[in-house]
Structures are given as structure tokens and as C-alpha cells.
Chain A
Amino acid sequence: MDFTRRDTLALGAGAVALTVLPFRVNAAGEDAIAEFTGGADVAEGGVNLDAPEIAENGNTVPISVSAEGASAIMVLAMGNPTPGVATFNFGELAGSQFASTRIRLAGTQDVVAIAKLADGSFAKATKNVKVTIGGCGG
């Protein structure tokens, strides 16, 4: 079967240019957490983080966070070159402490949400989101 140079070029362009190995946790993420919490202890639970187990598209991953009574929720993509995603601040009159957005993930990594709760304590939720090259579905 013949294949032309054009085929090869087109196929090359179609090849996946995605790095899929799990990303190392970035020290900048830990620094951002320390800055947000002022070094206070962070408890597990008390904050909900909804994110897909496997991203359908690593360039736009829908996530949502909520924590009852929180004054702020910080979201970090721990494996991104720049881990900071957003910090959502909720005023006293906020009807609910819920936010959703879409984030870009450079590869498989933990997404972390840290909430500053009403009593001034901090709570954390972590979800590992896989970014995969896909294919081969049964």
C-alpha cells in the first residue's frame, strides 16, 4: 500500500503532543498553601471538591468547590508549572459558598482545594485528575 509524503506529514501533525507522565508536585504549590493558611494546620474534610477522575480534555477540566460557611476557598493544580488556579472569596452576605470553573492541567496531578472556614480553621480536599492520551476503549 502506498503512502505519500503528505500522509506522513499529516499524520505527524495528528500525533499527540501531550506529556502524560504524572507530574511532580511543585514546591510552589506547598508555598502557596503555607501563605494562604499562614502555616496553620489543615484538616481533611469539610470542603467538597468535584472534579472528573479522568479529564475528557486536559485543557479545560470542569471543577467545582464548596465549603459551608467558608470565607475563602483556594484551588491549586499541584503539578502545573504555576500551581495557583483561583481563590474564591465569599462575603458575609454570600448565599452559598460554592464556585465552579474550568482549569487547565498540564498532566495527571492532584487538584487541591483549601477552604478557610468560619471559625478560622482550614480544611482541605484533594482529587487526583488523570490526563491521558486515550484510545483503545473496549
Chain B
Amino acid sequence: MISRRDFLQVSMAASALVGASGFGNWARLAAQQSLTQDQLLQFDTFGNVSLIHITDIHAQLKPIYFREPEVNIGVGDNRGQVPHVTGADFRKLYGIDDGSPSHYALTYNDFSSLAKTYGRVGGLDRVATVINAIRADRPDAILLDGGDTWHGSYTCYQTEGQDMVNVMNALKPDAMTFHWEFTLGSDRIAEIVEGLPFAALGQNIFDAEWDEPAELFPPYKFFERGGTKIAVIGQAFPYMPIANPGWMFPEYSFGIRDENMQAMVDEVRAQGAELVVCLSHNGFDVDKKMAGIVKGIDVILSGHTHDALPEPVLVGDTIIVASGSNGKFVSRVDLDVQNGKMMGFRHKLIPIFSDVIEPDKDVAALIDEQRAPFKTQLEEVIGQTDSLLYRRGNFNGSWDDLICDALLSEREADIAMSPGVRWGPSLIPGDDITREDIWNVTSMTYGKAYRNEMTGEFIKVILEDVADNIFNPDPYYQQGGDMVRIGGMGYRIDITKPQGERISDMTLLKTGEAIDPAKNYVVAGWASVNEGTEGPQIWDVVESHIRKMGTVTVQPNNSVKVIGA
């Protein structure tokens, strides 16, 4: 008799085969100039249920470049485990050829030159084509949006998320969960959610006053597909009022609440769920830990930490699927569910190569309609870049170096701080920098650039605090961002140490002197979670700086020394 576990492993091998047939050949196919939409979409329909997962779009309606991280360190049990594997190690792990489309899609090396070969990725009109193709194979496939959808662009900011709502509604998702959406403020999110034609889920979205489940966000929804009863349980980002300004949505409380998750799994199983899917915005390592604690989840569709994995990760009997960010990937997961059990799966992470996948005409028109009122503002060229501008990385990215330079110079500060967010597309050398590009990496509802005096001691406290949000060995204490980016100051970090002991050798770069704990320094930054922060909007600060620069060149940043990686 073959156990369920064997089935999963057999299917994992099958999934790897799909990966091999799809992935490994791309280099050769591309070399023959024959990478086609059919190859990207090729999938032998399997089992009786299909899930389609897209997450962390960050309002990127149009194709963009997106460079994956070079530095993504795992700590504790996750040291050296996916998704904390990058570059050549990642390609080796998944058998990806150097120079292949998968190399370009999934790793950072040679990004600028590969970007010129393979072009931009994403675009919700291309995503629509992929979704339609999967629905042609399996008309009742379930489309699930992992959240961070209504945030991250000029048009999304100006329309308070309406552009994204309009376009996503056209894709007809079945359910969604949330993170940055809440930074629209509780009134606006309530207004949108009340009109959504699909389920807005979050078992961990609670009423802050009564500590009871929030009425607006049900914990789960049932779907009957392929003769199978499927429960989708939502898990919103657990640390919203901590990582983002809680004063914008004071009515809500979050947290991981894994005990309630277990209660919900038990509840849906008792109601006859044959397949339990968790649509999660926990972040990958938190999902891995949760999968080991909560029993009975078949599939976790993982978002928040922006990881793109060509194969699911197996924890016990739960598979965890990570589908990238910024519209760059769509995951298709086919499942065989028999007699109330998941017997096997087949999975493909589909990269949205925008030059290969035909845009869906209706959705393309709808996107243009959203952008039309802002066309002039979006397209205005502010400057050019000689350097690759990207954000992802645990300690710095060239976009953030540029933003920190803008803060130092425009705000006449000693030290600049830029938040370690993971959204924001890349630009390649030679690109124009438009206003839209600047907003893509800065847009938010609390973007005011403060200027403040802080003691050296307090700056260390901030660095220690943020470092522990990333490098605490227990994933449940990780918030899923990267390290705060620092301009004008260097430091050394030992990630293996506990909070309070990680940061040392803080040095003011302009003088080369050690930071004095008792001395005050002028610090400019943005994205403060404190209410009443004043200053110009960060995108105006960056635009003004780039205008003065004309052509931007960002020097390599070696000011952070990392120990214990």
C-alpha cells in the first residue's frame, strides 16, 4: 500500500519533471529564439482541482524589471534553506542553466544583460492571459490573491487603490487576503471590501477592542470544485500595526493566532472540507513554522516575503507554494483530492515574460483606462540611470542608496534611513527614470520625509530593533522585511548575536569618526509609523535630487560589514 506521504513524494518528483521539461530547456529554446507562450504555459492537467496563486503585486499593472536578491540570509533552522538560497547556489539547487530564462527570472546574476535579452516581466494583462489559459484547461480553477495588491504605484496612490480593484475584479479572483491594503485606512478598506465581488479573508483579523474576529473579514470560504469541497482560510499579515502605522486602522488587531488557525482548520474539516488551503501573507519562514504547528492544512499559498520558488516546500503533509512578487509569477497547483485526502499535486511557477506572453486585450484596455487620467504625470522623464537600480537584499539595494543620497543632500542630514521594504521594481543601466519609476519604489500613504535629531545611542537602538525583526532565530518574531537602509553611516552586524549585541562599529562616513552614543546626529528618513510625522513627501525629495543629478550613478555600497552569514 502506498501511503499519502509516498504519493506526495512521487508527485514532487513529477512536479520536478514538469520543472525540468519547462525550465531546463528554456535556455536552448531561447537560444533558438523559440521561447513561446505555449511552452511557458505547458502543463499536463492533473487531478481534480486547480489553484492559481498570485501575490504581492504591489500595484504593478504594467510589465517591469524585477531583480531577485543577492543577499537573503536565513537564521536558526532556516539557515541555508530555501528561500534563503540565491544566485548560483539557487540555480544549482534547481538545475537551472546559466544564462537561461529561469536564471534571469529567479536569480540576480548578470541581471542587466539578461534583462536586455529577455525583457520585462509581469503586467496584469499578461497575467490575465495565463489565468485564462489555465481556466481553459480547468474552468473551475480557484484564483487566489495573497494581498499587497492595492499598494505601490502612482495610480494606486492617486485612486486610493481603485485602479487595482478595477483590474483585479476583471481577473475574477475567488478570494484574497491582506497587508498593505490596510494602509489605505480603515474607512477606505471597508468601502472597497464591502463592494468586492469575492471573499476578503483573514482568520487573524480581529476587532481590536473586543479581541473577536472582525465581521468584515470572514476566516474562510468554501468552494465546491471538481466534486470536491475546498475550504480556503485567509491569513493576513500578522504584524500590520507594528510594521505599518497602526493609527491608520486602529479598529483592527492581527497576530499569527495559530491556535485560532487550528480551530478554523478543525471547524472546516468538521463541515466536510476535503481540501484545506491557507491563503497566507505570513512570509515564508513563518508559514513553514506554522505548517509544523497547525495540523490539517494541505496547501499554504505563501506571500509577503516575495520569494519565488520553482517547487513547493514540504512540511509534514503540507505543501508551501511561494509565487514571487510584482506580477512577475503566477503559480498553478493541480491537486488530486480523493476521499477527503490530498493524494498528490503538480505545480508550476509560471514566469510572466512580457515579450513572450500575449497581453489579454480587454485587460490591457482596462489598464490603459486606469492610467489615462495620469498619463502626463506618469511618463515625465526626471533623469536617467547609468546604474542598475534595484531594491531587494537584506542590507541595501541601489534604489535605496539613491534614496538615502537624496535624503542626505536634499534634507541636509548626517545620516539617512530608508525602510527595508521588499517591493519596488528595478531599472537597468541606460533607462530613463520617469516619475512613475520613482513612485514605484516610494509610493505609500505615510511617505513624509522626516528630519530629526537622534543620539548615537538611539540610532543603535533602532538598528538593533530592526535587525531582530529579521534575524531573530524564531520565525514567529520575524516581520518579513529587510534591514533598514542607512546612508551616511557604516556599521558591522553579527547576525548570530542576540538583540542588543548585533550592531557595532557604527561610523559616520563623512568624517570617518565612530558614532558617539551621547552625541546628536541629524537623521533624515521616511515611512515613519508615528502619527503626525511632518516633512515633504519622499517621492518629491527623490525627484528633486534626480533632477539635479541628471544622470544617476550609484557606487557599490560596502558600508555594512556582515558577520555570521
Contact = CB atoms under 8 A, between A and B. Distances in A.
A131 to B, nearest CB: 10
Q: How large is the interface on A (under 10, 10 to 19, 20 to 34, 35 or more residues)?
A: 20 to 34
Interface residues of B, number: 63
Nearest to A55: B242
Nearest to A53: B476
Contacts of B450: 11, 14
Contacts of A62: 211, 253
A14 B530 contact: yes
Interface string B130-162: 000000000000000000000000000000000
Given A1-B536, A3-B535, A135-B466, A54 B477 contact: yes
Given A1-B410, A54-B239, A137-B244, A132 B451 contact: no
Interface string B235-272: 00101111110100000011110010000000000000
SS of B interface (majority): loop
A3 B541 CA distance: 12
Contacts, number: 130
Contact of B469 (A8, A57, A136): A136
Interface stretch (B381-389, B415-423, B510-518): B415-423
A77 B306 CA distance: 36
Interface centre among B239, B256, B423 (most CB of A within 10 A): B239
Contacts of A12: 452-453
A1 B411 contact: yes
Contact of A136 (B423, B454, B466): B466
A135 B242 CA distance: 6
Interface stretch (B21-29, B116-124, B368-376, B478-486): B478-486
Interface of B: 179, 208, 211, 237, 239-244, 246, 253-256, 259, 283, 304-306, 410-411, 419-423, 450-454, 461-462, 464-466, 468-469, 474, 476-477, 479-482, 484, 498-500, 527-536, 540-541, 544
Interface of A: 1, 3, 7-8, 10-16, 19-22, 50, 52-57, 62, 100, 108, 130, 132-138
Given A134-B529, A135-B529, 20 more contacts: A1-B410, A8-B453, A11-B450, A14-B530, A14-B534, A15-B454, A21-B461, A22-B500, A56-B253, A100-B211, A132-B242, A134-B243, A135-B419, A135-B466, A135-B527, A137-B242, A137-B480, A137-B481, A138-B422, A138-B480
27 contacts: A1-B410, A1-B541, A1-B544, A3-B451, A3-B535, A8-B452, A8-B453, A10-B532, A14-B532, A21-B499, A21-B500, A22-B499, A22-B500, A54-B239, A54-B477, A57-B241, A57-B246, A108-B499, A130-B468, A133-B462, A136-B527, A137-B239, A137-B240, A137-B481, A138-B283, A138-B304, A138-B306
